[in-house]
């Protein structure tokens, strides 16, 4: 089974720019005409992604009271279609065709209070829902700057594409295939400047799977990265989790307090990291149960 980072993103930048232009010129309905056949074709030929989707949905069916969730082919196809809609929302956010009235917040007051006090934060995100909608936060207050850490070689070009179409340039994408001391110092400067740093904490490192922790996730052990939690301890700042779920015609962003400051002692470092990762995994599981079709990791997440 391939590591998630090895899944090819052929023509990624050109493809996303094409979708952006279609959305700007013709609107969402016409964009769906282009997107749905592509997603359907991808679902048919992507055997690994389809199998991983069914395995995940079968696991979540044991935890969810939603009778429509199972490991069947139809449910997996719906999973991919929900992902297609998330892509359309992503394009809408990037192109500025996104109304702030369509976003509902839970826990935003604490985030704004930190920003007003010029206190930077680390936000632990995930591939559940549409994290790109969080750029709407930057449009709410002029003093909010968001830095998104990405495990992708496309981040520099992606950042240029984002700012080409975006109304606000107060979002920066930063490549973090490996977190070097220079990266930490750069992020410390951003935290001290009162900026927000967002990193997904539900995918193992690109550079290798040695710095991972195995914790329980939907009844089985799964590997989660240690990096985001170690980074949080180095930045010495408050930590929150952030999840953005689509509910009917609205996007709902949940900010939940995680820690005032993570600290791992030398003697109990492994155990303390394990505990933090397990808390995060439990919170991710809770929100996955709430919207099971919105977790977009189409690979074998529980592989050993």
pLDDT tens-digit readout, 259-277: 999 999 999 999 999 999 9
Return all residues near 186 (Cβ < 8 A) that are at least 6 apart. 174
- For range 215-230, the mean pLDDT: 94
The predicted-structure confidence for 169-202, as pLDDT tens digits, reads as follows 567 777 776 677 888 999 999 999 999 999 999 9
Q: What percent of the chain has pLDDT over 70?
A: 81
Q: Say what the pLDDT of residue 161 is.
A: 64
Question: What pTM was computed for the model?
Answer: 0.87
Q: Which of 253, 256, 205 is nearest to 230 (CA)?
A: 205
* Per-residue confidence (pLDDT) for residue 209, from 0 to 100: 54
Percent of the chain whose pLDDT exceeds 90: 45
Does position 139 have pLDDT exceeding 80, yes or no? no
pLDDT for the residue numbered 23 = 76
DSSP tag of 7: S
CB 252, CB 244: distance < 8 Å: yes
Residue burial 267-281, b: 16+ Cβ < 10 Å; e: rest:
eeeeebbbebbbebb
Residue 34 has pLDDT above 50, yes or no: yes
* Residue carrying the six token digits 């070097």: 180
Q: Determine contact, residues 24/84, Cβ cutoff 8 Å.
A: no
Tell me, what DSSP letter sits at residue 127? S
Could you tell me the two tokens for 255?
Answer: 């900010």
The two beta strands, 250-259 and 239-247, are antiparallel
The partner residues of 123 in beta bridges, in order of sequence, read 198, 240
Structure tokens at 45: 């030929």
pLDDT at residue 138 tops 70:
no
Given a cut of 60, whether residue 278 has pLDDT beyond it is yes
- Residues 255, 248, 131: CA angle, nearest 5 degrees: 35
Domain ranges within the chain, ordered by starting residue = 4-294
Banded model confidence at residue 38, pLDDT cuts 50, 70, 90: confident
pLDDT band at 206 (very low <50, low <70, confident <90, very high): low
Q: What is the pLDDT of residue 20?
A: 72
Q: Is the pLDDT of residue 74 over 50?
A: yes
Is the predicted pLDDT of residue 10 greater than 50, yes or no?
no
User: What integer best gives the mean pLDDT of the chain?
Assistant: 83
- Are 60 and 128 in contact, with CB atoms under 8 Å apart? no
d(CA 283, CA 240): 11
d(CA 48, CA 2) in angstroms, rounded, equals 9
Tell me the C-alpha distance between 77 and 155, whole Å.
Answer: 29
Q: Please indicate whether residue 24 or residue 77 has the higher confidence score (pLDDT).
A: 77
- Both tokens of 234, joined, read 């180095």
């Amino acid at each position: 089974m391939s590591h998630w980072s090895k899944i090819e993103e052929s023509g990624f930048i050109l493809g996303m720019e094409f979708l952006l232009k279609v959305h700007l010129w013709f609107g969402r309905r016409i964009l769906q005409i282009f997107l749905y056949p592509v997603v359907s074709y991808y679902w048919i030929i992507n055997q690994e992604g389809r199998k991983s989707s069914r395995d995940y949905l079968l696991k979540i069916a044991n935890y969810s009271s939603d009778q429509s969730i199972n490991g069947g082919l139809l449910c997996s196809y719906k999973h991919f279609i929900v992902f297609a809609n998330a892509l359309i929302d992503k394009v809408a956010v990037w192109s500025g065709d996104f109304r702030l009235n369509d976003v509902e917040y839970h826990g935003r007051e604490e985030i704004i209070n930190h920003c007003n006090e010029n206190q930077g934060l680390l936000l632990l995100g995930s591939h559940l829902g549409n994290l790109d909608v969080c750029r709407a936060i930057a449009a709410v207050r002029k003093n909010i700057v968001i830095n998104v850490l990405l495990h992708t070689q496309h981040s520099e070009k992606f950042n240029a594409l984002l700012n080409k179409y975006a109304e606000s340039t107060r979002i920066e994408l930063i490549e973090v295939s490996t977190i070097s001391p220079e990266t930490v110092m750069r992020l410390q400067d951003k935290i001290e400047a009162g900026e927000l740093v967002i990193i997904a904490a539900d995918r193992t490192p690109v550079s290798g799977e040695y710095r991972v922790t195995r914790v329980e996730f939907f009844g089985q052990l799964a590997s989660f990265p240690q990096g985001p939690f170690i980074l949080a301890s180095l930045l010495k700042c408050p930590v929150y989790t952030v999840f953005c779920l689509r509910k009917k015609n609205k996007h709902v962003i949940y900010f939940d307090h995680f820690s005032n400051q993570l600290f791992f002692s030398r003697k109990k470092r492994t155990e303390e990291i394990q505990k933090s990762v397990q808390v995060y995994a439990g919170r991710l599981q809770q929100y996955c149960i709430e919207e099971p079709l919105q977790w977009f990791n189409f690979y074998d997440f529980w592989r050993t």
